[in-house]
Amino acid sequence: MSGIYIHIPFCKQQCHYCDFHFSTSLKTKEDLLNALVHEMKIQSSFLEGTKIRTIYFGGGTPSLLSKDEIKALFEALNQSFELDNLEEITMEANPDDLTEQKVKQLKDTPINRFSIGVQSFQAKDLEYMNRAHNVNQAHDSIKRVQDAGWENITVDLIYGTPTLSHEQWQENMQTVIDINVPHLSAYGLTVEEKTPLHHAIKKGKQLPLDEDKSKVQFEMLMDFIPKNGLEQYEISNFAKKGYEAKHNGSYWTDEKYLGLGPSAHSFDGERRIWNISNNTHYINSIKNGQLNNDFEVLSQEQRFNEYILTSLRTKKGCNLNYVKSRFSPFLVDFLTFSIKKWLKNGEIEQKGRFLVLTKKGKLVADWVASELFYII
């Protein structure tokens, strides 16, 4: 199985925490969409031999696209790829874009799953993050999509902001349960360099993050959401049975995937490939029939480290049989030795042939994984 990611690099405004590639100018939108169609043709053989089961429109803000633009991209996808096995077609959407008219138009597209970037149901939080929507739009957008017939909906929330009290975080989580969406992605706020938030904190214009507060809110998340019917199947993702994100599974299980558009990443089984993060350069290269990307061939040690990192974040955990079949005896022995401390301390438990993070381990998941990396 494999998936296709399509990056739509346009936004109405910049969220202060975001370091993804985007532009607030729509001047190049038409040229960029044409370039995406041409890149599909160039990359038509990339996923040969695999069954494509997911398509994901990410950004940026894909919900800025019109119905006709979305349908044109799908027509181009059908011409370049075999899509008979498609199961999940996701579009990231901002609440302010999901007006009654827009939702009605989107019913006439193949989109069957929405990822709605709510981030918070608290006004001060939305202002702190410089989100384009307000609290009412957050509620209304979800209800509109549900009323239009979509069931497969995920909501994004962010915790750990200076403006979010524990009581308000509890309210946010309760709202997700009350509105009955089957999937939640929840992330602790991080401060990335060169973002407006980073600059504001550095200049003393915004409060720095409180790691202890974020840790407490993550514990609240792990306690409350699973008790209310959404299982934690990955560190940051919770779902009712049958509503787990299929596309993200490609990233977590070492499957091939193709990224289209500026800054999009691909993986062909051996190489990690990334397109240039510049709209104009991307468009000009594609016009000339050339890809503008870079790549690295992953060493066995890099593949090992990536597998440890991604697998430990999932409910299933790290498959020791897979490690034994995929990697050298030296790396198998390295892992066997390295996990002893974490098994003893209770951050990891072994369930048959799987290594699984405990609740204690989930609180320090990235640290545990990094300690299991093999560094040359």
pLDDT one digit per residue (tens) for the chain, 376 residues? 799 999 999 999 888 888 888 888 999 999 999 999 999 999 999 999 899 999 999 999 999 999 999 999 999 999 999 999 999 999 999 999 999 999 999 999 999 999 999 999 999 999 999 999 999 999 999 999 999 999 999 999 999 999 999 999 999 999 999 999 999 999 999 988 889 988 889 898 888 899 999 999 999 999 999 999 999 999 999 999 999 999 998 888 878 999 999 999 999 989 999 999 999 999 999 999 999 999 999 999 999 999 999 999 999 999 999 999 999 999 999 999 999 999 999 999 999 999 999 999 999 999 999 999 999 7
Judge if 209 and 73 occupy the same domain.
Answer: yes
Judge if 42 and 184 occupy the same domain.
Answer: yes
Of 90, 68, 93, 72, the C-alpha closest to 144 is: 93
pTM: 0.95
Q: What pLDDT sits at residue 139?
A: 98
Judge if 338 and 194 occupy the same domain.
Answer: no
Please enumerate in sequence order all residues whose Cβ is within 8 A of that of 16, keeping only pairs 6 or more positions apart, or say none.
128, 129, 130, 195, 196, 197, 200
Examine residue 309 and state whether it is found in any structural domain, yes or no. yes
Examine residue 262 and state whether it is found in any structural domain, yes or no. no
Q: What pLDDT sits at residue 254?
A: 78
Examine residue 294 and state whether it is found in any structural domain, yes or no. no
Judge if 134 and 202 occupy the same domain.
Answer: yes
Contact 240, 182 (CB under 8 A): yes
Please enumerate in sequence order all residues whose Cβ is within 8 A of that of 104, keeping only pairs 6 or more positions apart, or say none.
148
Judge if 217 and 353 occupy the same domain.
Answer: no
Query: How far apart are the C-alpha atoms of 341 and 219, rounded to whole Å?
Result: 23
Judge if 44 and 128 occupy the same domain.
Answer: yes
Contact 197, 228 (CB under 8 A): no
Q: What pLDDT sits at residue 237?
A: 98
User: What is the domain range of residue 357?
Assistant: 300-371
Q: What pLDDT sits at residue 252?
A: 82
Judge if 95 and 242 occupy the same domain.
Answer: yes
Examine residue 277 and state whether it is found in any structural domain, yes or no. no
Q: What pLDDT sits at residue 194?
A: 86
Examine residue 168 and state whether it is found in any structural domain, yes or no. yes
Judge if 112 and 25 occupy the same domain.
Answer: yes
Of 306, 305, 308, the C-alpha closest to 320 is: 308
Q: What pLDDT sits at residue 223?
A: 98
Q: What pLDDT sits at residue 193?
A: 87
Query: How far apart are the C-alpha atoms of 1 and 251, rounded to whole Å?
Result: 11
CATH number assigned to the domain comprising residue 14:
3.20.20.70
Examine residue 285 and state whether it is found in any structural domain, yes or no. no
CATH number assigned to the domain comprising residue 364:
1.10.10
CB-count burial class (<10 Å; 0-12, 13-18, 19+) for 222: middle
Contact 92, 115 (CB under 8 A): yes
Judge if 207 and 353 occupy the same domain.
Answer: no
DSSP designation for 333: H
Judge if 111 and 183 occupy the same domain.
Answer: yes
Judge if 324 and 182 occupy the same domain.
Answer: no
Q: What pLDDT sits at residue 18?
A: 87
Q: What pLDDT sits at residue 14?
A: 86
Judge if 200 and 308 occupy the same domain.
Answer: no
Q: Which of 251, 271, 289 is the last residue of a domain?
A: 251
Examine residue 270 and state whether it is found in any structural domain, yes or no. no
Q: Which of 194, 224, 251 is the last residue of a domain?
A: 251
Q: How many domains does the chain have?
A: 2
Examine residue 274 and state whether it is found in any structural domain, yes or no. no
Q: Which of 212, 227, 251 is the last residue of a domain?
A: 251
